[in-house]
């Protein structure tokens, strides 16, 4: 999204990133599947 980072508590995830920032990464479409 084009919104600024959410004002979330300073909770650090296992990798050191903010817990709610998982959706803030650039969107990557899933690979095509031929099922």
State pLDDT tens for residues 1-35: 566 666 655 555 555 555 455 555 555 666 677 76
For residue 33, the model assigns a pLDDT of 75
Tokens 């650039």 correspond to 26
Contacts of 19 (CB under 8 A, 6+ apart): 8, 11, 12, 13
Buried-exposed string 13-32: b where 16+ CB fall within 10 A, e elsewhere: eeeeeeeeeeeeeeeeeeee
Domains of the chain: which residue ranges? 1-29
Rounded Cα gap, residues 21 and 30, in angstroms: 19
Per-residue pLDDT at 1: 54
- Looking at residue 34, its pLDDT comes to 72
Structure tokens at 28: 């990557």
């Amino acid at each position: 999204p084009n919104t600024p980072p959410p004002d979330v508590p300073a909770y650090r995830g296992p990798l050191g990133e903010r817990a709610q920032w998982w959706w803030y990464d650039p969107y990557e479409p899933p690979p095509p599947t031929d099922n």
